[in-house]
C-alpha cells in the first residue's frame, strides 16, 4: 500500500510540474498553466501593501482557472503601482485623498510577449498619505471585472499562439521581468 501511495505522490508531483497541456483538438488546458505573480520594488508603497496586492492577484489567478506558483514560471503577472496624486482635504481634521493606478501585465516570460494588460485606477481617503495610498491599493478586488478581462484576453492570445505553434510549452527558469518594465517606457 505504501508503494502505491508513493507512486501516486510521484504522479501528482509530475502533474503539478506540467505548466500547460494541449488537448488533441488544439485546445489549451489552462488549469495546469503555472503563473507566478512577481512584485517589482516600489518606494511609494510599503512592502506590506505590495504583499497584500500579491495575495489578491494570486487569488485572481485561481479564480480565473489558472494554476498559481510562487516558483519560477514561464508565465507571469506583473503589477506596477503608480501613485497619481495625493491631496489634502480642507476639512477638520484634514484627510488625505490618494489616487493610484495599478497596471497589471500578463506575460509570457519565455517569448517576452505581453499577452494582455490592464490599468485600474483606485482612490481612497484616510487620515495620512501613507494610509490613503495603502487603502487605495488594497481596494483592488480579485473579482474585479477588469482583472477577469485581463485573464480572458491573455488566455485567448495563448490559445491562438499555441494553435499555430506546435512546440511544447516548457518550464523556464528565467524570472527576470525587466523587459516588461523597459517596454512600457
- pLDDT for position 14: 35
Mean pLDDT of the chain: 77
> Cα–Cα distance between 9 and 4 in angstroms, integer?
9
Domain presence at residue 97: yes
**Structural domains in the chain (count):** 1
> For 112, left (φ over 0), alpha (ψ -120 to 50), or beta?
left
Predicted model pTM = 0.73
The full DSSP string for 50-115 is HHHHHHHHHHHHHHTT-EEESS--SEEEEEEEEEEEEEE-SSSS--EEEEEEEEEEEEETTTTEEE
The residues that bridge with 22 in the sheet, in sequence order, are 28
- pLDDT for position 177: 58
Domain presence at residue 61: yes
CB 74 within 8 A of CB 161: no
Domain presence at residue 24: yes
pLDDT above 90: residue 79: yes
CATH number at residue 132: 3.30.160
- pLDDT for position 21: 41
Q: Average pLDDT, stretch 28-49? A: 81
- pLDDT for position 74: 81
Full domain range(s) for residue 31: 20-168
Domain presence at residue 147: yes
Q: Which three cell numbers stand for residue 167?
A: 512546440
Domain presence at residue 177: no
- pLDDT for position 35: 83
pLDDT above 90: residue 70: no
Percent of the chain topping pLDDT 90: 41
Domain presence at residue 77: yes
Examine residue 93 and say whether the peptide bond preceding it is cis (omega within 30 degrees of 0). yes
Q: What share of the chain is helix, strand, coil (3-state, %, to 5)?
A: 40, 30, 35
Pairing between strand 67-69 and 34-37?
parallel
Between 75 and 105, the more confident residue is 105
Amino acid at each position: 500500500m505504501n508503494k502505491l501511495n508513493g507512486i501516486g505522490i510521484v504522479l501528482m508531483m509530475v502533474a503539478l510540474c506540467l505548466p500547460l497541456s494541449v488537448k488533441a483538438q488544439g485546445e489549451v488546458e489552462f488549469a495546469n498553466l503555472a503563473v507566478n505573480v512577481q512584485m517589482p520594488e516600489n518606494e511609494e508603497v510599503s512592502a506590506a501593501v505590495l504583499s497584500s496586492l500579491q495575495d489578491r492577484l494570486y487569488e485572481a489567478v485561481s479564480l480565473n482557472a489558472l494554476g498559481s506558483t510562487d516558483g519560477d514560471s514561464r508565465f507571469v503577472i506583473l503589477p506596477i503601482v503608480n501613485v497619481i496624486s495625493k491631496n489634502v482635504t480642507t476639512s477638520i481634521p484634514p484627510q488625505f485623498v490618494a489616487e493610484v493606478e495599478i497596471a497589471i501585465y500578463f506575460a509570457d516570460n519565455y517569448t517576452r510577449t505581453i499577452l494582455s494588460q490592464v490599468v485600474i485606477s483606485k482612490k481612497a481617503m484616510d487620515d495620512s498619505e501613507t494610509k490613503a495610498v495603502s487603502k487605495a491599493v488594497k481596494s483592488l478586488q480579485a473579482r474585479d471585472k477588469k482583472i477577469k478581462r485581463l485573464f480572458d484576453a491573455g488566455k485567448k492570445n495563448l490559445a491562438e499562439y499555441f494553435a499555430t505553434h506546435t512546440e511544447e510549452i516548457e518550464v523556464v527558469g528565467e524570472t527576470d521581468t525587466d523587459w516588461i518594465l523597459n517596454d512600457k517606457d
